Structure 1
Amino acid sequence: MQKTFIKDALEVIHERKSVRNYTGELISTEDINVILKAAMAAPVAIHMMPWKFIVVRDKDKLKALSDGLPFAKMLPKAGTGIVVCAAPHEAALGKEEFAILDCACASENILLAAEALGLGAVWTAVYPSKELISFVRKELGIPQNIIPLNIIAIGHPIGDEHAEDKYEPNNIHWDKW
């Protein structure tokens, strides 16, 4: 069954917020697939798709990740974490930089898709910390040639987080600096 989304694209972009408080209810497999399909619709350099995604729903694994990551304490209550990983050998020109850029675009699409579905999400950093990368690799059995970049907690939100207006005209330069 196809879901009907009420929000338009600009509304989703402007309403996206970092959500850190969740009910603990699992995200449906259907919603996870919608979110991951959106992730894989992201722009990529020369049509290479150097991303890998690990969906973590196991409560013990979410707790272990939460314990080892300073900015991911909300994972157990979120109920779902998506680990966005880069595969540099599958990126444009085999370059790590392109893999990271492409996966950053996919990460943003995950956040926007979660917002569009009425879910809460927050991006939590793993990359560029060598210690955190090593921890996540070990915890999830990730091969050495794959780089875990971030873990996006996704869940049913509680609380009253609101989008922030970050528009700053002083950061815009027209035609020259």
Structure 2
Amino acid sequence: MSVIFDRRSIRRYKDLPVSEKDLEGMLRAGMYAPSAGNERPWQFVVIRDREKLMKITEFHPFTQMLKEAPVAIVPCADMRDLKYDGDFWVQDMAACVENILLEGTARELGTCWCGVYPKENYVRELSALLGLPDYMVPFSVIAVGHPNESREVRERFNRSRVHFEKWSL
């Protein structure tokens, strides 16, 4: 539970590389996320290229931390052969991203989840930058690095948001 409670969005990073072992552990955690019908629609693009990271900050205003982050993970949804109608893949991808963030915290790395889908311009620009085929949808950008800031951990549990059996005020 401490990993869940300690996870924070980190936007400042030290000038240190992220090891292959740590990256693989985070990707492995992502691939262990639950998915509808065990579909596992995820594919990943790992970006270390400084020029590509900077280009993302030009079209996605909420990714400015990539100017310092040594690496980004871009989870993408493979839209080929989805088993179910609807957007269950969105839930699958969100679970995948959360697993990556939690594993990063467990490895004492900082992460920041930057949404891409469903913003059409972010999807289009990122797809072009990464050369994604039409059937791949970039879901998010996850900045990863050694934190150069600490974020306060505050209590978030709020009993007034819990309702039993029916809605209550």
Q: TM-score, normalised by structure 1?
A: 0.90
Aligned letter for 2:61? Answer: P
Aligned to 2:43: 52
1:69-94 deviation line (CA, Å, top 9, x unaligned): 1110111311010001111224332x
Equivalent residue in structure 1 for 2:28, among 21, 31, 37: 37
Unaligned runs of 5+ in 2: none
Contact 1:119 1:157 in 2 (8 A): yes
Preserved contact between residue 91 and residue 98 of structure 1 (Cα < 8 Å): no
**Aligned match of 1:120:** 110
Q: Is the 8 A contact 1:56 1:80 kept in 2?
A: yes
Contact 1:18-1:120 within 8 A present in 2 as well: yes
- CA RMSD of superposed structures (Å): 1.2
Work out which of the residue numbers 16, 19, 41 in structure 1 matches 2:7.
16
Query: Paired residue for 1:101, among 91, 114, 127?
Result: 91
Question: How many Å separate the matches in 2 of 1:90 and 1:32?
Answer: 28
Report how many aligned residue pairs link the two structures. Answer: 167
For 1:65 and 1:75, how far apart are their aligned partners in 2?
8
Q: 2: CA distance between counterparts of 1:79 and 1:163?
A: 25
Look up the match of 1:7: none
The counterpart of 1:162, out of the listed 143, 147, 152, is 152
Distance 2:135 2:164 in 1: 41
SS of 2:63's equivalent in the other structure is coil
Q: Tell me if the contact between 1:23 and 1:155 (Cα under 8 Å) persists in the aligned partners.
A: yes
Is the aligned partner of 1:68 residue 2:73? Answer: no
**SS of residue in 1 equivalent to 2:44:** strand
C-alpha displacement of 1:65: 1.1
Give the match for residue 150 of structure 1. 140
Q: Identity over aligned residues, as a percent?
A: 35
Secondary structure, counterpart of 2:8 in structure 1: coil
Q: Does 1:141 align with 2:131?
A: yes
Counterpart Cα distance in 2 of 1:50 and 1:30: 23
Structure 1 pair 90–132 and aligned structure 2 pair: CA distance change class (3 A): same
